[in-house]
Structure 1
């Protein structure tokens, strides 16, 4: 129901535009109050409080102003963002009672703002606004509770359990008979760096880790067009992306980049396309590739076996590995020489680029390279020695045993 009457006013001011103008400052006060009075919100990561939570507070305050301006209840679609936010909080494990209390706190503070300075002449408008406030609060409670509980049901649903069972079977190398598997899977091992918020108190760190995982999964699910098979923890895990044909490699590289951007952390990954029966073997090899990429100091991103072929082969168990590693034994206890050697090779034997990377003078690089040659008998400038040095550096990354 709409009104042709004059706008709702209190203390001589039109309430709706006044409230809109106060939204930025009021939202900051609401967020500070939530942090101070609600333990569940005090434990949320700073990024989430200043991002998702602050955004939904501002959106809700503007919705409040819209209701007052129209002098009518809000349509159901106006609560879409609150429902999305509630579903995300469910996935992160934030209790429902804390979420509903937060909305009550925000509504109360909003009411205090619009009623400030009210006098006897404002009673009629105050009564109407109070009725609108109660209606809005009922709609918020219903929308938020419904979305939260629906998300929880999905998390615990038989469908989710079925996906878990299918993934378990694929990882065991025994896809169940009659199971609905994809023709192919892009099998990926992901290593997720720690988000800064994970270094905080235990509860905050746990929420930050769940949020990071949720954001990665959201990107992967959107790409696949369905919930992917995934076993992810804070440090990473395995993902199986269903496919009818092998996706372009550049497309998968872009997917990993988008997942890293969404999560706010570097992501190192290895991937390979496999039929269902071959998934288990590919998962094991991908785990080795990701570990190898990290040990050899390569940057984050997506890798395949062809990208690290020589290093992978050199790290296969053999009697030659210890001998290769011992070629650089004379550099033990001289970390500046080892670091210089790795950097010199990474910079394609460019002394000036190496000096810039190490923050030293090019003459210092020359001296250290001569010292390396003197101690090991291997000169990076000699092609045969360069091959041995590269192999020895890789062999040193292989754990003994």
Structure 2
């Protein structure tokens, strides 16, 4: 005979251990349901956290229904129909709304199928091999269809919810960066700004794979891994605006976190993404977030300009450099100390290397590929033109400050 879906239905009942398989499974559904629910509670923690009435109600109900559908598949010896799986689709959609992970849902169905299979093959004999094989084929086909149906229903709902959540989080981030976050308005939309945030500004170096084929994929993977570390730190979705070059992250915190903790977070993100990260951080009250973001951007720029290594920095780490980067008469005056060297780039390069290498003439010579005596000569020329000598304690701070002021003025 032919079934509703056009498939040929074999009417001879499957027999294992002398028992009609479908009838035996139907009879054992109540006991199997209790067994499966007990396993869900002990083996899948997410189900143990659900309300007890939901577990013994909706969850037990869908386990029971699925076992009965499986029994009908075995009875008809035909695949499950869309109508057979309607309740499973609805249940998956509801679990998606509750935030139950998809892997836990699929694991629950696997436990149910495993328990059903163990029950119908108990006491199977060698002579049952053909029927066992037929039952296995039916079970595998049913489980494949079930998994596909449940996953599609779950992901459809999650896509809508994630889109709504993403839009809400983006709006909250934008309002915080603009200094217009209104707690009552955000709460009415299901989001509530925190009173305090750890504000991070991140500059991401290119990953080596970004320069090759599939570079855009490597860039997205890098960003995703950084964001995963940020999410793990706050144990939820952080407020992040990030692309391949960097961006801003707002991490809600109850109190200012230890600085070492934030440094470790940036280090983990760098390791996970496989690229260097230069970052600036500060803890700010909600209304002070825009000012903190602006200051962080300036700190990152100072760190970059002064050639410091990757890592997390705060204003206290670059106070002198930060202040010297501010426009004004003092910066202009300091920069003018090196005006006599403006047309002597060889002397400027030598001065930069000499100061950066701790006044070590040999290392300076190596870095510039010149003779140490040439370094000595150039240092004397610098003194004769500017009146300042790096080896004089009183002159050294002025030369360092003048170089920084000059670079800040040049890039401003």
Pairwise CA distance, 1:370: 2.4
Within the alignment, does 1:271 sit opposite 2:281 as a pair? yes
Provide the secondary structure at the position in 2 that maps to 1:246: coil
Write out aligned runs for 1:1-400 (5 A).
152-153=159-160, 155-157=162-164, 159-178=165-184, 179=186, 180-200=192-212, 204-358=214-368, 360-399=370-409
| Structure 1 stretch displaced more, 216-225 or 354-363 | 354-363
| Structure 1 stretch displaced more, 358-367 or 386-395 | 358-367
Which runs of 5 or more structure 2 residues have no equivalent in the other structure?
1-15, 17-101, 107-132, 187-191
Which runs of 5 or more structure 1 residues have no equivalent in the other structure?
4-78, 84-125
CA contact (8 A) 1:378 1:385 kept: yes
Provide the secondary structure at the position in 1 that maps to 2:352: helix
Distance 1:356 1:152 in 2: 59
Pair 140,359 (structure 1): closer, same or farther in 2 beyond 3 Å? farther
Pairwise CA distance, 1:142: 6.3
Distance 1:331 1:307 in 2: 29
Deviation string, structure 1 residues 372-400 (Cα, Å, up to 9, x no partner): 22333221111232111111111122255
Pair 155,233 (structure 1): closer, same or farther in 2 beyond 3 Å? farther
Over aligned residue pairs, what C-alpha RMSD do you find? 3.4
Distance 1:301 1:336 in 2: 31
Pairwise CA distance, 1:354: 3.5
Deviation string, structure 1 residues 235-255 (Cα, Å, up to 9, x no partner): 111111110011111111111
Deviation string, structure 1 residues 76-123 (Cα, Å, up to 9, x no partner): xxx969x9xxxxxxxxxxxxxxxxxxxxxxxxxxxxxxxxxxxxxxxx
Pair 194,170 (structure 1): closer, same or farther in 2 beyond 3 Å? same
CA contact (8 A) 1:343 1:357 kept: yes
Pairwise CA distance, 1:165: 1.2
Q: State how many pairs are aligned.
A: 282
Pairwise CA distance, 1:167: 1.1
Pairwise CA distance, 1:369: 2.3
| Structure 1 stretch displaced more, 356-365 or 296-305 | 356-365
Deviation string, structure 1 residues 194-216 (Cα, Å, up to 9, x no partner): 11222245xx3322221111100
Pairwise CA distance, 1:362: 3.8
Provide the secondary structure at the position in 1 that maps to 2:206: coil
Pairwise CA distance, 1:329: 2.9
TM-score, normalization by structure 1: 0.61
Distance 1:224 1:141 in 2: 33
Provide the secondary structure at the position in 2 that maps to 1:298: coil
Distance 2:317 2:363 in 1: 24
Larger Cα Rg: Structure 1 or Structure 2? Answer: 2
Pair 347,129 (structure 1): closer, same or farther in 2 beyond 3 Å? farther
Pairwise CA distance, 1:367: 3.1
TM-score, normalization by structure 2: 0.60
Pair 385,140 (structure 1): closer, same or farther in 2 beyond 3 Å? farther
CA contact (8 A) 1:166 1:176 kept: no
